[in-house]
Structure 1
Amino acid sequence: MKKSLIALNLLAIFLVGCQPNKEAPKDEKNMLPKRKQPKTIAYELKDAKQWLLDSTLTDTEKELVFAVNRTDASNFKRMDTVIVPKDRSGDVAYYFPFPLSVPYLKDVDKIIYFSYPTQTFAAYECGELVRTGPTNMGREDAQTPNGLFFTNWKAKKTISTVNDEWELKWNFNILNKGGIGWHQYTMPGYPASHSCLRLVTKDAKYLYNWADQWVLADKSTVLVKGTPVIVFGSYDFKAEKPWLKLVNDPHALDISENEIRQITEPFLNEILAEQENRVNSKLKVQNIKADT
């Protein structure tokens, strides 16, 4: 009887296909974000310090403007010219370049993208965007490598191996021997890290809880890889900040569904194979528990 039930569970998993995240925080579990679309997407240049003097600004508006300038509150105050959306009533996803839906990814349970050219990230479940925001990636002499990675181990707080004065919060490693991962850290508004992927606190915490860790068979053998992560593109360190182009063309940085497909296609078989391995490994654990 136990073996029959296990077989039925296995069949159900493969018939249903891509599964929504069941390990997210309770208020985010199995739910796509409810998004309000702004009437228009248009930007204007402003003096950062002068703009902050406007007493009518809400915290939500400020947070959005910090995000589109790829920065945080403390660093925004140090900036000169910034871009500001004319209509700030929409959800942050409408001001960022990744598409809200990518049908090509419908069979991929979870995947995260980091775009070097736009300094943004996006997390998808079954092809639907669940999170996006700004990032500050590796500086010119310590660039974040491109390619496919998988999430490894994580720590709510750790100390950098490069400098013991750097405290990294909500750290999730994607390149174990290279010491590269995403974490919360100061966001100056341009690629400034030592190869890591800097995020604001709320995004780093979300991805920390959302992504899957690896599973080790022993200290040196990976039994199950974590969530796939694709880093792509390049950044022109000698040009002006790319998002300043949005003033003249609000779609200048848009990433199309087709571009996501082209970026992902070389890695798709490996991604799906590792995803199946995770499912099968969970079933093996269930089998062991069922037989004991």
Structure 2
Amino acid sequence: MKKYILVVIFGLSLLACKQEPKTVVVKKTAPERHQPKNVAYQWQNAKEWLASTTDSSAIRIALAVNRTDKIHFVKMDSVIVPTDFSGDIEYYLPFPFKVKALENVNKIIFFSYPSQTFATYENGELTYTGPTNMGRKADQTPTGLFFTNWKAEETTSTFNDEWDLKWNFNIANKLGVGWHQYELPGYPASHSCLRLQEKDARYLYEWADQWILLDNNTISVKGTPVIVFGAYDFEAAKPWSQLVANPKALDISEEEITKHVSPFLKTIMTEQQKRIKYQGKK
């Protein structure tokens, strides 16, 4: 009798090994963040403010608020800066800290056209955010669901072979659209790509997953999901200029993120499962 029980248990364990891998949900601990006493903004002369500021974290926040880089920041007459820089950068950018609808999604990136910002989430927790300059009016960045595919630390633009692109990660292979480091003048100015500061471009380059190919024409596993959403009003003033009158003017709610991701959740989870299965075979 004992031998029979052992055989059955062993047989069940073999069957369990052959089952499809289950979705792995990592309980992401919310990062510890420092909240400012107040989030409010004011206009300042760009050169005067920069000359009086040595705090690197304050400079990083000011550049992000103005969706620009240091080279273009000093060229601006007036810039928007917080009255209190004591908080972490996430408090000055519009993405919500937590999205319940993403709890089972291991990794995802969002690019907001209206606010010109991006964010990464891991199992529903905001993990990284920053500014971007997306496609100009004549070459607007396509919106919808994409997946990261190939990447290169440095490559040459297909639009102009004199443009060197660092930390390039493609999201739409046939369209040639991806993110990379390039100058941020403080408004949508690219030829449809997602421009980033170098620190941010490198972070996403190292954080996101590449696709896995069976051969040159067959994708075995897609990369990290990327959702580009919303529209930019090219005729209006820069949206972030509203922050002086209303610090919450650009806030993106959890409900809005849920609305944008819901039509794609089934596809995202299917592709995530393929990656988990592939990793389980390695």
TM-score, normalised on structure 2?
A: 0.92
User: Partners in 2 of 1:195 and 1:4 — Cα distance?
Assistant: 52
Secondary structure in 2 aligned to 1:74?
helix
Q: Deviations over 1:83-130 (max 9, x none)?
A: 000001110001010001111100101000000000000000000001
Partner of 2:225: 228
Residue aligning to 2:58: 61
Q: Which stretches of structure 1, 4 residues or longer, exceed 4 Å deviation after superposition?
A: 3-11
2:139 aligned with 1:147:
no
Match status 1:113 vs 2:110:
yes
Q: What is the letter of the counterpart of residue 242 of structure 1?
A: P
Q: Which residue of 1 aligns with 2:72?
A: 75
Query: Structure 1, residues 162-207: CA drift from partner, whole Å, max 9, x if none?
Result: 1111110010000001110001111100000010000101111111
* 2:22 counterpart SS class: helix
Q: Which residue of 1 aligns with 2:164?
A: 167
| Paired residue type of 1:44 | Q
Within 5 Å, give how 1:156-195 maps onto structure 2: 156-195=153-192
The alignment's C-alpha RMSD in Å is 2.1
Instruction: Establish whether residue 51 from structure 1 lines up as the match of residue 58 from structure 2.
Output: no
Which secondary structure does the structure 2 equivalent of 1:34 belong to?
Answer: coil
Name the larger-Rg structure: 2
- Aligned partner of residue 115 in structure 2, secondary structure: coil
Structure-2 residue corresponding to 1:39: 37
Structure 1: unaligned runs, 5 residues or longer: 21-29, 287-292
Say which SS state the counterpart of residue 191 (structure 2) adopts: coil
**Alignment partner for residue 22 of structure 2, among 14, 39, 43?**
14
Task: Report 1:94-113 matches (<5 A).
Answer: 94-113=91-110
- What is the percentage of aligned positions where both structures have the same residue? 58
Which ranges of structure 2 fall in alignment gaps of 5 or more residues? 1-9
For 2:211, the equivalent position in structure 1 comes to 214
Change (3 A) 1:121 1:235: same
Change in Cα spacing, 1:74 to 1:31, as seen in structure 2 (3 Å) is farther
Alpha-carbon distance in 1 for matches of 2:95, 2:18: 35
Aligned residue for 1:280, secondary structure, equals helix
1:118-144 C-alpha deviation (Å, 9 max, x unpaired): 000000000000100000000000000
Counterparts in 2 of 1:7 and 1:159: CA distance versus 1, 3 Å: farther
Partners in 2 of 1:98 and 1:238 — Cα distance?
Answer: 24
Question: Would the alpha carbon gap of residues 60 and 147 (structure 1) be closer, same or farther in structure 2, given more than 3 Å must change?
Answer: same
Query: How far off its partner does 1:52 sit?
Result: 1.6
Q: Residue type of the partner of 2:62?
A: V
Please give the per-residue CA displacement for 1:45-71, whole angstroms capped at 9, x wherever unaligned.
1111121221x5312211110111000
Q: Which amino acid aligns with 1:240?
A: A
Residue 14 of structure 1 aligns to a residue whose secondary structure is coil
Q: Which amino acid aligns with 1:259?
A: E
Q: 1:44 to 1:279 in 2, by over 3 A?
A: same
